Amino acid sequence: MKRLQGIAVSPGVAIGEAIVLDNEGFRIPRRFLARNVVQRELTRLHEAIARVTSDIEESRQRVSEQLGDEYASIFSAHVQMLNDPRLREELEEMIRDRHYSPEYAVSRALRRYAKVFQSLKGDYMAERANDVFDIEKRLLHRLLGERREDLAKITSEVLVLARNLTPSETAHMNPRFVRGFATEVGGPGSHTAIVAEGLGIPAVVGVGAFLSDASGGETVIIDGDEGLIILQPDEETLARYRHEVDHQRDLANRLTSLKDLPAETTDGIQVQLLGNIEFPSEAQQCLDRGVNGIGLYRTEFLYLANKGEPTEEEHYQAYRDVAEAMAGFPVVMRTLDLGADKLPALPDPEDERNPFLGLRSIRLALKHVDMFRTQLRAILRASVTKNIRIMFPLISTLIELRRAKMVLADAMEDLEEEGVPFDRDIKVGMMVEVPSAVMMMDHFCDEVDFFSIGTNDLVQYTLAVDRSNKDVASLYTSADPAVIKLIKMSIDSADAHGKPISMCGQMSGNPLYTMLLLGLGLRSLSTTPAAAPELKRLCRSVSIPECEAVAQRVLEMESSRDVKALLREELLKRLPEHID
């Protein structure tokens, strides 16, 4: 048994069969074929070998023309190796007699060859091992198709173990089949982590190198509460975790009974619970969990899921679906927030050595005004349902906000001229996620209808900690007193101007912070739908004066450690079985 510590980013426990995605692509778990498909699978293998052979031949010819035969000979060696009769016989035997899938046979045979080369000393041998890996990769690529698409195509329950996953790769996972994942890299605030929470699957990131200990196909445990992954668990550990899975299922069932009750404190104060979504299909989950609207629709996932830039019609349909599904409830559509770790298919900016400080979010939108206008037109067209609100992300200066509002005004004018209906009184808000925005809140209050605090970025920009870097993850916390002071300033300022303010960063979905946030005066929280029932239960078991007393004590504290200790103690008093 091997226990590995990482960073817990999406709660819950998952137990299941591992599928390993390492730097070389998929490491294929052992799969057996039904007797009647053996012949078909042998044909698939032969076709893959033939296709890869012709791909390599093509490369050989190109290199030979451009650089000469000397360089092209390496490809000849690859062709020879790939068509070696002994290798072919071995693969055929595995498929025909042992009923291995072609993918598993290829992966197993070629990795064994590569290992032999690796065990022999010298650069020449290391190169040969690389050649074998290269052939394996090409063959698997042919057999499996593109890796990303394959993640979407998984149709049996697995846990994904990977070096890294991009937010869009994660977004392509079907949570019915991918029951959890763990990655070697990645930090607590990365969008990959956020998407995992949205999908409601346990996830652990930043584990460090561990993939060489996993082979794929074996049972693993991902403990998203403690940030652990357990390889080769013993019987006792498995039994304990199975019990935990049952317990969580019971708790989730009990919480559904709260669905139709209000999030009201014991002294009768209403708290607005809203949902964060990335895809239109999640609107239903929000309704199932009894939230009062959508506080953050991360529309940029439409770009990430699409191969190219979405058309106005594609935008429109997605927004209309959400607005209609949520009829009678507010839907806050955040305009595209691309860049940094959410990379669209746009030309690379010239110099992005600090992508989180670079051309991301509203800055990128204002640089690609046509793309921005297309999205705004679609949001406006969908707004005839009257429940849509527009929110601009990452606003750092007043000028930036005014420029965004000007593009919006242009889009409105165009629609008006074209006679296309939209909501003329649509509310316009902004995210508060950069310290400069907090400092200028009084001015922003004159220019927007509402605010939402984005703690994921606010923490990163306040503490100068990259939200997706595991090596500085211990500094990345919403419990830092500086962050809490900025949150208080934002709430006080919005309150003083009578402007509604909510919070949609991950902090708002963590019950650890609920009492503090209510005590600081927040009355609206937007979270992943999965987190909402627990928050509702907590709201219903505290009073505002109790929360204010907690906030008062927190505001006097000097370190995140003290803040967390106090909040944990207070939470456990209210929800004794809460697992933090």
CB of 111 or CB of 298, closer to ligand PEP:
298
Give the number of other CB atoms < 10 A from CB of residue 407: 19
Dihedrals φ, ψ of 477, to 5°?
Answer: -145, 140
Residue among 103, 131, 433, 534 that touches ligand PEP (CB under 6 A): 433
The answer to the question of residue 193 lying near ligand PEP (CB under 6 A) is: no
Q: Which residues, including other chains, have CB under 8 Å from residue 133's CB and lie 6 or more apart?
A: 24, 110, 114
Active site residue ranges: 191, 504
| Residue among 252, 251, 226 at smallest CA distance from 241 | 226
The answer to the question of residue 298 lying near ligand PEP (CB under 6 A) is: yes
Q: Residue 492 class from Cβ within 10 Å (0-12 exposed, 13-18 middle, 19+ buried)?
A: middle
Compute the least distance from the CB of residue 393 to Mg ion, in Å: 6
Which among 97-105, 447-455, 491-499, 568-576 is the span making contact with Mg ion, rule CB under 5 A?
Answer: 447-455
298 binds, among Mg ion, ligand PEP, none (CB under 5 to 8 A by kind): ligand PEP
CB of 452 or CB of 524, closer to Mg ion:
452
| Amino acid, single-letter form, for residue 68 | G
CB of 383 or CB of 456, closer to ligand PEP:
456
CB of 169 or CB of 433, closer to Mg ion:
433
Compute the least distance from the CB of residue 58 to ligand PEP, in Å: 42
Residue among 143, 302, 322, 504 that touches ligand PEP (CB under 6 A): 504
Compute the least distance from the CB of residue 9 to Mg ion, in Å: 16
457 is annotated as contributing to ligand binding: yes
Which among 2-10, 80-88, 100-108, 452-460 is the span making contact with Mg ion, rule CB under 5 A?
Answer: 452-460
| Residue among 322, 247, 244, 324 at smallest CA distance from 282 | 322
**Greatest extent of the chain over all pairs of C-alpha atoms, in Å:** 83
Give the number of other CB atoms < 10 A from CB of residue 321: 15
CA angle 164, 340, 277 (to 5 degrees): 80
- The DSSP bridge partners found for residue 8 are 204
Handedness of CA 540, 541, 545, 546 (dihedral sign): negative
194 binds, among ligand PEP, Mg ion, none (CB under 5 to 8 A by kind): ligand PEP
Instruction: Please name the helix (run of DSSP H) or strand (run of DSSP E) that holds residue 390, with its range, or none.
Output: strand 388-392
Which among 69-77, 78-86, 202-210, 454-462 is the span making contact with ligand PEP, rule CB under 6 A?
Answer: 454-462
389 is annotated as contributing to ligand binding: no
CA angle 455, 458, 461 (to 5 degrees): 150
The answer to the question of residue 455 lying near ligand PEP (CB under 6 A) is: yes
467 is annotated as contributing to ligand binding: yes
User: In whole angstroms, what is the distance from residue 361 CA to residue 366 CA?
Assistant: 9
402 is annotated as contributing to ligand binding: no
The answer to the question of residue 457 lying near ligand PEP (CB under 6 A) is: yes
CB of 183 or CB of 456, closer to ligand PEP:
456
CB of 104 or CB of 279, closer to Mg ion:
279
CB of 429 or CB of 505, closer to ligand PEP:
505
The answer to the question of residue 341 lying near ligand PEP (CB under 6 A) is: no
> Parallel, antiparallel, or unpaired: how do β-strands 25-27 and 13-22 relate?
antiparallel
Which among 34-42, 175-183, 455-463, 486-494 is the span making contact with ligand PEP, rule CB under 6 A?
Answer: 455-463
Dihedrals φ, ψ of 158, to 5°?
Answer: -140, 165
User: In whole angstroms, what is the distance from residue 33 CA to residue 37 CA?
Assistant: 7
**Total residues binding ligand PEP (CB under 6 A):** 11
CB of 457 or CB of 534, closer to Mg ion:
457
The answer to the question of residue 138 lying near ligand PEP (CB under 6 A) is: no
The answer to the question of residue 457 lying near Mg ion (CB under 5 A) is: yes
Which two structure tokens, joined as six digits, stand for 451?
């605010």
Residue among 41, 169, 184, 337 that touches ligand PEP (CB under 6 A): 337
147 is annotated as contributing to ligand binding: no
Q: Which residues, including other chains, have CB under 8 Å from residue 103's CB and lie 6 or more apart?
A: 26, 28, 31, 140, 143, 144
The answer to the question of residue 194 lying near ligand PEP (CB under 6 A) is: yes
Dihedrals φ, ψ of 334, to 5°?
Answer: -85, 130
CB of 194 or CB of 551, closer to ligand PEP:
194
Residue among 429, 454, 519, 521 that touches Mg ion (CB under 5 A): 454
Compute the least distance from the CB of residue 504 to ligand PEP, in Å: 5
Tell me how long the chain is.
580
Compute the least distance from the CB of residue 374 to ligand PEP, in Å: 20
According to CB under 5 A, which residues from 422 to 441 bind Mg ion?
433
Compute the least distance from the CB of residue 527 to Mg ion, in Å: 15
337 is annotated as contributing to ligand binding: no
Compute the least distance from the CB of residue 538 to ligand PEP, in Å: 20
Residue among 456, 478, 490, 527 that touches ligand PEP (CB under 6 A): 456
The answer to the question of residue 223 lying near Mg ion (CB under 5 A) is: no
**Total residues binding Mg ion (CB under 5 A):** 3
Going from the C-alpha of 13 to that of each of 10, 143, 200, 467, the distances in angstroms are 9, 32, 11, 24
CA angle 543, 545, 547 (to 5 degrees): 70
The answer to the question of residue 136 lying near ligand PEP (CB under 6 A) is: no
The answer to the question of residue 505 lying near ligand PEP (CB under 6 A) is: yes
Handedness of CA 487, 366, 443, 270 (dihedral sign): negative
The answer to the question of residue 379 lying near ligand PEP (CB under 6 A) is: no
230 binds, among ligand PEP, Mg ion, none (CB under 5 to 8 A by kind): none
Q: Which residues, including other chains, have CB under 8 Å from residue 19's CB and lie 6 or more apart?
A: 26, 27, 29, 154, 158, 159, 160, 161, 216
Taking the C-alpha atoms of 162, 168, 169 and 172 in order, what is their torsion angle to the nearest 10 degrees?
A: 140
Which two structure tokens, joined as six digits, stand for 473?
């993850």
The answer to the question of residue 454 lying near ligand PEP (CB under 6 A) is: yes
504 binds, among Mg ion, ligand PEP, none (CB under 5 to 8 A by kind): ligand PEP
User: In whole angstroms, what is the distance from residue 297 CA to residue 275 CA?
Assistant: 8
The label of the residue with tokens 């000393």 reads 121
Which two structure tokens, joined as six digits, stand for 454?
């984005």
What is the phi-psi region of residue 186: left when phi exceeds 0, alpha when psi lies from -120 to 50, beta otherwise? left
Binding-site residue numbers for Mg(2+) are 433, 457
Contact residues for Mg ion, defined by CB under 5 A: 433, 454, 457
Mark the binding-site residues, compressed into ranges.
298, 334, 433, 456-457, 467
Query: Which residues of this protein are in contact with ligand PEP, per CB under 6 A?
Result: 194, 296, 298, 337, 433, 454-457, 504-505
